[in-house]
Amino acid sequence: MPLPDRSAAPGRVAMVSVHTSPLDRPGTGDAGGMNVYVLEVARRLARAGTAVDLFTRTTSASQPDVVDVEPGIVVRHVAAGPYEGLSKEELPGQLCAFAAGMMRVAAHAPRGYYDLVHSHYWLSGQVGWLAADRWNVPLVHTMHTMARVKNLHLAAGDEPEPRGREIGEAQVVEAADRLVANTEREARELVDLYGADPERVAVAEPGVDLEVFTPGDGRAARRRLALGEDAVLLLFVGRIQPLKAPDVLIRAAAELVRRDPSLRDRLVVGVLGGASGAGVRTPMGLDALAESLGIGDALRVVPPVDRATLADWYRAADVVAVPSHSESFGLVAVEAQACGTPVVAADVGGLPTAVGDAGLLVDGHGTGPWADALGRVVTDADLRASLSARAVEHARGFGWDRTADRLLEVYRAATDRPKDVSIHDAERLSGIPWAVIP
């Protein structure tokens, strides 16, 4: 049966985020930049006239089946396995249950209710592949992170991503009508590492909420956060796991104190976030690390906070460090810059795009180079002021409306292409049966 004409923007998109809910607070569990991306993009799409149903796994008995977020956005919780206690690594065994739940929801909707499926992360891509095939609509997929990229940049002591994930990602890359990359670098990785068709890869850079993350009075922010007005605040924001490397900041901070003992009484090393992934299975021991380096009393580990409070932390900071070993984009960097805070980031993944020429990039994760870069920002007031001004200007180019507009272009391109891929063509797609999930 031929597809109906969908050359205009789709009326309704089914977004899939299996392993983490867009309603979860970033920094908790597996929630991070992807959660922000999914919800913020959904908001802009809905305001532009494309309704979004967000499918995610139920993780608590108290969660309602349906949450109306705002006009045009519905979050649908799908029961798939035990509500609590399942790690992300255990979720491949629940993809069939999740897909069945999505099918049950769609069974109550009119024919042609969804115009397109947009999946986020490889687990969702496996489910989205089935849903798009069943509904005979295009599949758009965003990786967010990729196993082959992460395995090339493993942190010391971190666990490599399993081969089963690589296989699953390769299948989704082949099946998707369009692939969305966060940066040009990620687009090249999809082509070089996964053999993606360059004609089906598009770039839609993530954004930042420019109404929440704005420059402000740093002294007032410090008072609200109970920080000394003369404190030297080095800030890390993100999930606490080896991949994100908060230990790099702590080691560099200790080196700064060794070089300049006068910093000791004013130093505050802020770590905002919760343990995630390998950081849950094997806690990183940041408190013990700081104690062993002689700066235990300078470390403040703070659980994830709401966005308004997060903006205050950015404004209060002298510098925000993003020392990740792998990063598809780096929303934290852009959020901090939107608040006028200088950023020092690892020269990996999408961070050069996120930071631009408005921050400092560090090659590698050695303590010396990181202390050098952080020290330059902390001790050079002119450099700090210059980076702050450039940061605000740079961040203005990353509004979420821009991201949504680009996605609508991708959606239109996907719906213009005849749908000719069936789930029964799985062996043709990758040479491996689609149901092979570790």
- Across all residues in the chain, what is the average pLDDT? 89
DSSP for 164-215 reads HHHHHHHHHHHH-SEEEESSHHHHHHHHHHH---GGGEEE----B-TTTS--
The Cα–Cα gap between 141 and 242 comes to 26
Homologous superfamily of domain range 218-397: Glycogen Phosphorylase B; (3.40.50.2000)
Do domains 12-207+401-430 and 218-397 share one topology? The answer is yes
Domain boundaries, the chain: 12-207+401-430, 218-397
Binding-site residue positions for 1D-myo-inositol 3-phosphate: 19, 30-35, 88, 121, 145, 165
Lowest mean pLDDT, pick from 87-91, 278-282, 308-312 = 278-282
Q: Could you tell me which CATH class the domain 12-207+401-430 is placed in?
A: alpha beta
Binding-site residue positions for UDP-N-acetyl-alpha-D-glucosamine: 33, 239, 244, 305, 327, 335
Model pLDDT, residue 284:
67
Percent of the chain with pLDDT over 70: 90
The Cα–Cα gap between 182 and 354 comes to 10
The pLDDT tens digits for 377-402 are 999 999 999 999 999 999 999 999 99
Which residue shows structure tokens 């799409």? 45
The pLDDT tens digits for 243-301 are 999 999 999 999 999 999 999 999 999 999 987 655 444 456 899 999 999 999 999 99
The Cα–Cα gap between 134 and 222 comes to 53
Which residue shows structure tokens 């890869």? 201
Binding-site residue positions: 19, 30-35, 88, 121, 145, 165, 239, 244, 305, 314-315, 317, 327, 335, 341
Model pLDDT, residue 388:
97
Residue 418 has pLDDT above 80, yes or no: no
Residue 3 has pLDDT above 50, yes or no: no
Residue 426 has pLDDT above 50, yes or no: no
Mean pLDDT of 99-110: 91
pTM here?
Answer: 0.85
Model pLDDT, residue 109:
87
